[in-house]
Structure 1
Amino acid sequence: MMRCLTGRRRVPKVRARLVLRVAKIKNRSGEKVFFVGKEKYNCLKCPGYCCSYPNIHAKPKDIRRLAEHFKVSEEEAEKRYTEKGFKEKGMKKAPRVLRHQKDEHFGSICWFFDTDKRRCTIYEARPEICREYPGRKRCGYYEFLKFERDAQEDPDYIAITNNY
Structure 2
Amino acid sequence: MNIIKKEGFNFAFNPIGCESCEGNCCIGESGNIWIKKEEMKKLSKFLNISLEELKTNFLEKRGYRYSIKEIKLSENNYACNFFDLDKKQCSIYDARPIQCKTFPFWEYFKTRKNEVKEECPAIIDI
Normalising by structure 1, report the TM-score.
0.54
- Write 1 or 2 for the structure with the bigger share of strand: 2
Normalising by structure 2, report the TM-score.
0.68
Paired with 1:110 and 1:146, the residues of 2 have a C-alpha distance of 16
Specify the alignment match of 2:4 in structure 1.
Answer: 36
Query: Residues 81, 39 of structure 1: CA spacing in aligned structure 2 closer, same or farther, 3 A cutoff?
Result: same
Specify the alignment match of 2:53 in structure 1.
Answer: 76
What's the RMSD between the two structures over aligned residues?
Answer: 2.9
User: Secondary structure of the equivalent of 1:50?
Assistant: coil
| Bigger Rg over Cα | 1
The answer for unaligned runs of 5 or more in structure 1 is 1-23, 26-34, 86-92, 148-164
Is the contact between residue 4 and residue 13 of structure 2 (CA under 8 Å) also seen in structure 1? yes
Query: Residues 133, 146 of structure 1: CA spacing in aligned structure 2 closer, same or farther, 3 A cutoff?
Result: closer
Query: 4+ residue stretches of structure 1 with deviation over 6 A?
Result: none
| Deviation readout 1:96-136 (Å, 9 max, x if unpaired) | 10011133596111011111222111111111111111126
**Identity over the aligned pairs, expressed in percent?**
27
Is the contact between residue 46 and residue 142 of structure 1 (CA under 8 Å) also seen in structure 2? no
Structure with the bigger RCO (C-alpha within 8 Å, sep 6+) is: 2
User: Secondary structure of the equivalent of 1:134?
Assistant: coil
Specify the alignment match of 2:105 in structure 1.
Answer: 135
Is the contact between residue 34 and residue 65 of structure 2 (CA under 8 Å) also seen in structure 1? yes
